[in-house]
Amino acid sequence: MNMTRNPSWERKDLLGLKELSAEEITLILSTAESFKEVIGRPIKKVPALRGKTIVNLFYEPSTRTRISFEIAAKRLSADVINIATETSSVRKGETLIDTGRNIEALKVDMIVMRHSYSGAAVMLARHVGASVVNAGDGWHEHPTQALLDIFTLKEKLGHIEGIRVAIVGDIAHSRVARSNIWGLTKLGARVTVCAPPMLIPPCIGEMGVSVTHDIQEALAEADAVNVLRMQFERDSGDAFPQQLEYFKNFGITEERLKKAKKNIIVMHPGPINRGIEMSSEVADGANSVILEQVTNGIAVRMAVLFLVAQANENRKTRRARSAKTEVHVPPDGSSASGPSVGVSESQSVRDYAKRVSGLTGEPVSGQTS
């Protein structure tokens, strides 16, 4: 397997799919293909991230995502630390930024974070030099879940461009839906969202998707259906439909699949609420790829960890080289050759400005004549 990093990946963080280009998404998917071969070996390990330390910082409950990231990191030979916020200093009032900075002070290379607030991963990435990977933030994005969904579709169908995907369920509260929409549409897929009116965001059409409230219409031409978890815990005003009512009108059943394409792919990010989002017969049936999604999540997360770690390492190397070769112009007019030691670029510019001012007699901006 060729482990050479593609120079087109330059991001130290993965915060969402909205900001990525189609080429960057494709690079992650192609890198994941190589790592899929690794996890199929008898010895499922490569030394790609040996010596790196990765912290899983989860502010929300998680089973699949946290374990998947942990396995992915260990398959790359990284050291992994799991932090449960309910037993950490967060309970004592420590802020997210302080938590991140303290973790970084322990010489950690990467933080994988899940948080209940949208934008939390972006904020943390702005305040730490370590790489940050978004494992889900509020209702915003869940980029690695969407990437593994897209990887699974590509594996099954051979391509993404032109396929039709129906996303069914709690669109309003779903970070999985948003990341899937960004990723799929960037790669040329046609996406339809389907849910009761109260679970469809009013401006969802601006993301380039079609909207329907008819489940059979959504399934009619779909090559795949991604069934979202109904997040009843987020219903603060009894706005959600009753569970049995929802299953009757929007649940994926064998009867409904008989009217769809014969080989329609059934997906779910988990955990499944059987008898609410889909029947057990569908979840365990021939069209379901739910467990394959879980397996593919390891390869996709290996690819993400590898790419962002290498990008951040290269970033640090470039900065170190830039600091060593920085040219300093002394204020006394002596030779300016050779590297500057311990002097910032802004200080060098100010010194040079003073020197020019002294030679010409003209005032420099910020000085008085």
Instruction: Map out the domains of the chain as residue ranges.
Output: 22-141+297-313, 144-293
pLDDT tops 80 at residue 67: yes
Mean of the per-residue pLDDT values of the chain? 87
pLDDT of residue 190: 98
pLDDT tops 50 at residue 156: yes
CA-to-CA distance for 16 and 146, rounded, in angstroms? 10
pLDDT of residue 196: 93
Verify whether residue 213 is a known catalytic residue: no
pLDDT tops 70 at residue 343: no
Task: Out of 92, 258, 259, 262, pick the active-site residue.
Answer: 92
Task: Out of 65, 152, 185, 192, pick the active-site residue.
Answer: 65
Q: Span 181-204, mean pLDDT?
A: 96
List pLDDT tens digits, range 223-245. Answer: 999 999 987 666 555 566 788 88
Q: Could you tell me the two tokens for 222?
A: 């779909």
Going by C-alpha positions, the residue among 84, 116, 104, 356 that lies closest to residue 234 is 116
Task: Give the H/E segment covering residue 225.
Answer: strand 224-227
Verify whether residue 114 is a known catalytic residue: yes
Verify whether residue 11 is a known catalytic residue: no
Same fold, 22-141+297-313 and 144-293: yes
* The CATH fold of domain 22-141+297-313: Rossmann fold (3.40.50)
Q: Is the distance from CB of 6 to CB of 27 less than 8 angstroms?
A: yes
From residue 270, alpha-carbon distances to 30, 142, 145, 289 in Å are 24, 13, 10, 12
CA-to-CA distance for 351 and 354, rounded, in angstroms? 5
pLDDT of residue 34: 95
Q: Is the distance from CB of 160 to CB of 123 less than 8 angstroms?
A: no
Q: Span 182-200, mean pLDDT?
A: 97
Task: Out of 114, 175, 190, 229, pick the active-site residue.
Answer: 114
From residue 77, alpha-carbon distances to 73, 130, 281 in Å are 6, 18, 39
Q: Span 105-110, mean pLDDT?
A: 98
Note the pTM of the prediction, 2 decimals: 0.84
Q: Span 107-124, mean pLDDT?
A: 97
pLDDT of residue 328: 57
pLDDT of residue 22: 97
Task: Out of 75, 140, 142, 268, pick the active-site residue.
Answer: 142
List pLDDT tens digits, range 20-65. Answer: 999 999 999 999 999 999 999 999 999 999 999 999 999 998 999 9
Verify whether residue 328 is a known catalytic residue: no
SS3 212: strand
Verify whether residue 75 is a known catalytic residue: no
Q: With respect to CATH, is domain 144-293 assigned 3.40.50.1370?
A: yes
With a pLDDT cut of 70, the percent of the chain lying above it is 83
